[in-house]
A and B are shown apart, each in its own frame.
Chain A
Amino acid sequence: TKYSLCFSVGYSAVAFNHVIDFKEKKQEITKPVSPTELFPSLPIVQGTSKRIKVLTRLTLIVSDPSHCNLLRSTSANIKLYDIIAVFPKTEKLFHIACTTLDVDLVCINVTEKLPFYFRRPPVNMAIDRGIYFELLYTPAIKDSTMRRYTISNAISLMQICKGKVSSQSENKPLELRGPYDVANLGLLFGLSESQAKAAVSTNCRATMLHGETRKTACGVVYTVKKPRKVEEEETPVPVCKKAKTQA
């Protein structure tokens, strides 16, 4: 099947994407299909003896600020997805997505001339929060006009976000490309060699971990040792003796 191809190409983790477009009415977020129902036994990663990880992912296409309310509400189904990505359509939404929304990925549409320019402040804030940007490379395979737009948008994205990117494929099995092929495309977009390989490996893993922490951690408590006040004395007293008298 289609999925067996992406396993044979050399990936070690795959995420099934559910896309929700809010422009259509009555969109509800359904429970994700559990991967174990689709595959009774997962195939093994090429060259190792580990099984492929299958995750679930939700992409929200937002064109209106009211759509973001869904992310803030504690809808039970949203928590079931491993990775959440948002696809902002306007500049204001891009700003909101980078700064306040609780997501792991921000998708950038590369097939059209972008209606907004990337500005450095929200992009830097997103990078600090651990959010990565995402590009589709499939349109570049289909059509030469798409190819030009993809490459020009990708290059402008790289210049602003200093290479914190991961990549994505979609749809038909023939349009899938192996991980090293995609890393090579990163070189075309202006990344350095290490950044290009990271775009397929390290950054994707960081996104997975970010999703995991979003699911589990709600707050962190840590203790800090307070420095003891040093009292000035003429004869220095050993610390243990001092503690005894203080107790």
Chain B
Amino acid sequence: RGPAGRGMAAAAFERRVLRRAAEHHYLRVRLELPDGGARPNAAQFKQLVVTALRELHGEVGAALPVDVLTYEEKTLSAILRVISSGLVKLWSALTLLGFYQNRRCAFRVLQTSPFLLALSGNSRELVLD
């Protein structure tokens, strides 16, 4: 509730703090496949994410509702959406994934945020003069 202090009339605004109210978390990830083999398409990418979850967290993890919102095959980068309670599981599963079809790979999580708009700018790519 807004404070009514200093002898003024009660303030006409009220302040609400929402903690953990965001339903989904968004992650921008990039898959690194150093060998120049065939690149996965969108369906294979989703399959890879689900496989990573299954390997680390089992069937319950694989059942976690994850959506691939965008996927670029050229750069192998994607934006994933997951329920907020499942963020730790998804992130740890992506971190510990080592192989895609017996090829060495690595997931790099570039940005993560509860708001999709925040993924549009990356302060780490700023060049400071």
Contact = CB atoms under 8 A, between A and B. Distances in A.
Interface of A: 9-10, 44, 46-49, 140-144, 147, 172, 174-178, 180-182, 184-185, 187-188
Does more than half of chain B's interface fall in helix, strand or loop, or is it mixed? mixed
B124 A140 contact: no
Interface residues of B, number: 23
A185 B97 CA distance: 12
Specify which of B97, B106, B125 lies most central, judged by the most chain A CB atoms within 10 Å of its CB: B106
Given A143-B98, A188-B88, 4 more contacts: A174-B34, A182-B95, A184-B92, A185-B92
A184 B89 CA distance: 9
Given A181-B91, A187-B92, A175 B124 contact: no
Task: Please give me the 5 A-B residue pairs with the lowest Cβ-Cβ distance, nearest first.
Answer: A181-B95, A141-B98, A46-B124, A47-B124, A49-B128
A175 B125 CA distance: 23
A175 B92 CA distance: 14
Contacts of A177: 95, 106
B88 A175 contact: no
B95 A175 contact: no
B126 A184 contact: no
Contacts, number: 51
Contacts of B119: none
Contact of B98 (A47, A142, A184, A185): A142
B108 interface: yes
11 contacts: A49-B128, A147-B96, A174-B32, A174-B105, A177-B106, A178-B109, A180-B109, A184-B88, A184-B92, A184-B95, A188-B92
